[in-house]
Chains A and B, each alone.
Chain A
Amino acid sequence: MKRIIALAFATLVLLTVGCASKLSNFSKKGVLQPEESMGIVVIAYESDTSIHSLIFSGSGKYKLEHTLYDNDHNFVVTSMPAGTYDITRVKIYNKYNFISLGSNQDENWKINIEPNKINYIGHFSINRIGRGYRVQTKNSSTLALDFLKNNFNELLKRYPLVYAKDGPEDEFFEYVENLKGEKNDT
């Protein structure tokens, strides 16, 4: 297949950022009962560069800090008010260094959080390339599904899992869910 190369070299800017509400994570032991207007959010980090936090901007501004993922895995499970957000910044190394993201015609950082659903955003990935960074969200739905099955199975039984990244449709979760149904029927 013709190799498709899309290098997004983002510039590292030294600036501070305005206030954002901090998101908190869910313990796998606790029973998660988000409010009606909230969506459960699942995101994973996959990076060769230390990530401090991600900033989501939409109807509100939210900050997802690296302290939320534990040593066992690279996933964070949290909740956010339903709505459309852009991932606008990733802070790397510390709270002062950030890479600007945001949606334009070359990059789509939009996510759609649906209420009363588990919204998998993707695997947020940063890799150093030369003097720049390649930043992307990879769709690794199977890894998310495995993670939730192993760690939040109860949650998975109560809420439908959807791919929350804006963009071309991805029916994988729905397909897997239907397969399960067909298997149970037989």
Chain B
Amino acid sequence: MILRTIILTAILALSSQTVNSKLIKANEIFSSSQFKNFVISPNGKALIGKSFLDGYHQLFALKSGEKEATEIFKLSNSNNMKIMDFNWLDNDTAYVSYIGSFNRMFTRFIDFEFKENSFDIDYFNIESFGFVVNPMPDIEDKALFSKIEKDDDKFELVKLDLKPLRSLRKHNKKAHKKVFNNFQVLSEDLDDTFEFYVSNDSYSLEMVGQYYDDYTAYSIFDESENEWREFFKVSKNKDDSTNHSKLDVFKPISKINAQYIVALSNLNRDKVAVVKFDTKQQKAVEVIYQSKSYDIKGANYNSKLNKLTSVTYVERGVNKQKFLDKAEQQLQAKLHDKIGLDSVFIIDRSTDSSNLVIFAYDASHPGKFYHYNEQRDKLRFLQNAKPDLHPYHFVKAKLLTAKSDLNKTIEGFLYLPENKSNNPLVVMPHGGPIGVQDLNEFDRGIQFLVNRGYAVLTMNFRGSSGYGRAYMSAGREQFGKGIEADINVLTQKALKLPQIDADNVCIYGSSYGGYSAVTSTILYPNTYKCAISAFGVFDLPLLYSASNLHHAQEIKDAIGFVVGDIDTEYKKLKDSSPLYRAEDIKVPTLLFAGTKDEVAYAEHSRRLNYVLNQLEAVDIEYYEYPRAKHGHLNWYGDIHQYLTIINFLNQIIGSDKSYSEEDKKVLAADNYTLGMLYYHGNFIEKDTTKAKNYLRLAHSYGDDRAAQYLRRLGVYNF
């Protein structure tokens, strides 16, 4: 096989260029991460990285400590093709599972032959919808593979033997199937399995998740009884005792023995904690790790050492990985000091833990990958997640807290343009509203607004996740009530800061945030100068009548859990709908919707647009994206949305700005992009008037590309 060599240093050189302009082009920030992940081989001698460059999903491999990487796998970005999973199986074999042409799923096994300064590879594919569950690193050429066949309703756990597969003629589906049939199926006697937990010692199947028509369940294998025992069940039937609340969390982590497991759970408690769960009594018997203020989001348990090794949680908006071993804590502290970013995660390690892969990131940085060698105490930079953004400066949020009327602390995150006072403010409530959490992490939209001179305030109002069950539950049926009160409390606190211009504030959100934006201008008319909604809901009864499929009891229950019951609370729902209070909307309003959105159907935005146009009391702009669902499927949608938002904000709360020559080049590029989006009409309805306007602007800022398209539109006086 011909191997292409990628020189990582060349990419690094590109990333070290400096960009003098303060502004960032929309199409630079609204683009995919170029480097997604790295994994290290069991002996720590080689790494594989995943990238998305020049329209291709790629895997590349490099020997530890070297700068040159070699492309080992490449997939076009067309026709939904993508890499689903990849990792090492052993020291000289890796695998990659991917969706190929015609939505077929393959797993490719890549054999490495390492030489002194290089390596060769060979590979073979199997076509199967499945994933490697355990690479069985101690056993050569074996792996546990979870797969599902067409028309089957369960995943099977199969013990792969690579030897007979390797000897087959490549791409021979029939022969592969024959060999597959001889492999041991570990889940053969179990019904409707979808999730597998495997022992890291014996590689035996010890727990499974099962998905039946009317309930889901977890079962454990009891060696003493030599049988499987169901220990946790979630019934879909409302009258069943195992019909859990939608706020309940239960996730097995690891089996301790035939009776006990380690799980993440908030059953009978407020915060999600790591618990020891008795599968016979079917209850938590011990809390292994908990936080006083926050839900635990993840945990690692070493079953060989029989101890919890690390937990993850979000503290003040920052993702944290906390090690429980002192030596690991010291190492992490050292790495944290060296790297200087808020979140430092060990994402992979060699078998003996002497070689680590680190991913570090925070609000001001989209992320960096490092390789750390413990013996040499050497931290080596591998790559930025988004090298193209490396030259730009982004900001971290300042934590802002306030007490709600429930006497709960509301955490907010205030992003400020640097070295400026009296900034116009955009308040940005999140979607959901239940079970979603805003973080103090890199966010393209927020950083773009800040880059264009707007302070941004986000917050975790009641209903947000991460702060326990009671806090989340307090947001239920609070549309237009307690949630907006929380947002207001924090906003008023921000308005008192010298960095904020209290007279120039708008509110913008997506999904529930869109509802909240428009509703907040009704409830707090003196605070906001404009409202912006993307994919929002404005007619709460319409949530139930948007489609006949929403009449199903299960869906009605799901909507009712968050919003309120349509049968008993119809009037309340109507009264809390900004559509039916449109006469109280007194500020310019900008709406975006997706034609294919089946969460917040575009009909919500169409209705509000229709009514506000009828009333003729405020300026209303409405954009409907024909290809978008509950969000954009393509960056061009985000680019259009954010450039339109900036133009809208600039008209209403923007201050006079003077632009440098470099800034003008950025504005030229942005306006050219907008003009071309209207010119082609692929992502937004074709509009030659708007195309002409933006292309004229682009040309006036010095973009010569605009001239030819203006001429094609019959414009010559530019």
Give B634 Cβ to nearest chain A Cβ, in Å.
Answer: 19
Interface of B (DSSP majority class): helix
Q: Report chain B residues within 8 Å CB of A183.
A: 614-615
B610 and A168 within 8 A (CB): no
CB-based nearest B residue for A101: B548
Per-position binary interface string of chain A over residues 152-186, scored 1 when its CB falls under 8 Å from any chain B CB and 0 otherwise: 00000000000101011111100110011001000
A142 and B610 within 8 A (CB): yes
B630 and A3 within 8 A (CB): yes
Per-position binary interface string of chain A over residues 108-131, scored 1 when its CB falls under 8 Å from any chain B CB and 0 otherwise: 110000000000001000000000
A142 and B603 within 8 A (CB): yes
In the complex, which of the residues A141, A168, A179 contacts B566, with contact meaning CB atoms closer than 8 Å? A168
Measured between alpha carbons, how far is A4 from B630 in the docked complex, in Å? 11
CB-based nearest A residue for B514: A1
Measured between alpha carbons, how far is A109 from B551 in the docked complex, in Å? 10
A6 and B550 within 8 A (CB): yes
Q: Report chain B residues within 8 Å CB of A140.
A: 601-603, 606
A107 and B552 within 8 A (CB): yes
With A1-B512, A1-B537, A137-B547 in contact, do A6 and B603 touch (Cβ < 8 Å)?
Answer: no
Give B163 Cβ to nearest chain A Cβ, in Å.
Answer: 34
With A1-B432, A108-B551, A139-B601 in contact, do A145 and B610 touch (Cβ < 8 Å)?
Answer: yes
Q: Report chain B residues within 8 Å CB of A6.
A: 547, 549-550, 552, 554-555
Number of A-B contacts (CB under 8 A): 113
Give A99 Cβ to nearest chain B Cβ, in Å.
Answer: 14
CB-based nearest B residue for A8: B549
Measured between alpha carbons, how far is A146 from B603 in the docked complex, in Å? 12
A167 and B544 within 8 A (CB): yes
CB-based nearest A residue for B544: A168
Give A157 Cβ to nearest chain B Cβ, in Å.
Answer: 16
B566 and A122 within 8 A (CB): no
Give A49 Cβ to nearest chain B Cβ, in Å.
Answer: 15
CB-based nearest A residue for B510: A1
Range of interface residues on B (Cβ < 8 Å): 35 or more
Per-position binary interface string of chain B over residues 610-633, scored 1 when its CB falls under 8 Å from any chain A CB and 0 otherwise: 110011000000000000001000
**Listed residue (B545, B553, B600, B603) with the most chain A CB atoms within 10 angstroms of its CB:** B545
B434 and A2 within 8 A (CB): yes
**Listed residue (B432, B434, B549, B579) with the most chain A CB atoms within 10 angstroms of its CB:** B549
Counting CB contacts under 8 A, is B570 at the interface? Answer: yes
Measured between alpha carbons, how far is A146 from B549 in the docked complex, in Å? 24
B549 and A107 within 8 A (CB): yes
A169 and B614 within 8 A (CB): no
Range of interface residues on A (Cβ < 8 Å): 35 or more
Counting CB contacts under 8 A, is B341 at the interface? Answer: no
CB-based nearest A residue for B604: A142
Per-position binary interface string of chain A over residues 5-20, scored 1 when its CB falls under 8 Å from any chain B CB and 0 otherwise: 0101000000000000
Counting CB contacts under 8 A, is B389 at the interface? Answer: no
B547 and A138 within 8 A (CB): yes
B611 and A179 within 8 A (CB): yes
B553 and A138 within 8 A (CB): no
Counting CB contacts under 8 A, is A105 at the interface? Answer: yes
In the complex, which of the residues B544, B558, B603 contacts A2, with contact meaning CB atoms closer than 8 Å? B558
B555 and A169 within 8 A (CB): no
B558 and A176 within 8 A (CB): no
Counting CB contacts under 8 A, is B574 at the interface? Answer: yes
Measured between alpha carbons, how far is A184 from B555 in the docked complex, in Å? 40
A168 and B545 within 8 A (CB): yes
Give A34 Cβ to nearest chain B Cβ, in Å.
Answer: 25
Counting CB contacts under 8 A, is A70 at the interface? Answer: no
B614 and A122 within 8 A (CB): no
Counting CB contacts under 8 A, is A106 at the interface? Answer: yes
Counting CB contacts under 8 A, is B94 at the interface? Answer: no
In the complex, which of the residues B546, B554, B606 contacts A142, with contact meaning CB atoms closer than 8 Å? B606
With A1-B511, A4-B558, A172-B542 in contact, do A139 and B599 touch (Cβ < 8 Å)?
Answer: no
A167 and B548 within 8 A (CB): yes
Q: Report chain B residues within 8 Å CB of A167.
A: 544-545, 548, 550-551
Q: Report chain B residues within 8 Å CB of A171.
A: 541, 574, 580
Counting CB contacts under 8 A, is B607 at the interface? Answer: yes
With A1-B512, A4-B558 in contact, do A105 and B599 touch (Cβ < 8 Å)?
Answer: no
Known: A1-B600, A140-B602, A172-B607. 16 other contacts (CB 8 A): A1-B431, A2-B435, A2-B558, A2-B562, A4-B550, A105-B553, A106-B553, A139-B546, A163-B545, A165-B545, A165-B548, A167-B548, A167-B550, A169-B570, A172-B539, A183-B614
**16 contacts across the A-B interface (CB closer than 8 A):** A2-B434, A6-B552, A6-B554, A107-B552, A122-B548, A138-B546, A139-B601, A139-B603, A165-B545, A167-B548, A168-B545, A171-B574, A171-B580, A172-B607, A175-B611, A179-B615
Binding site for B on A (CB under 8 A): 1-4, 6, 8, 105-109, 122, 136-143, 145-146, 163, 165, 167-172, 175-176, 179-180, 183
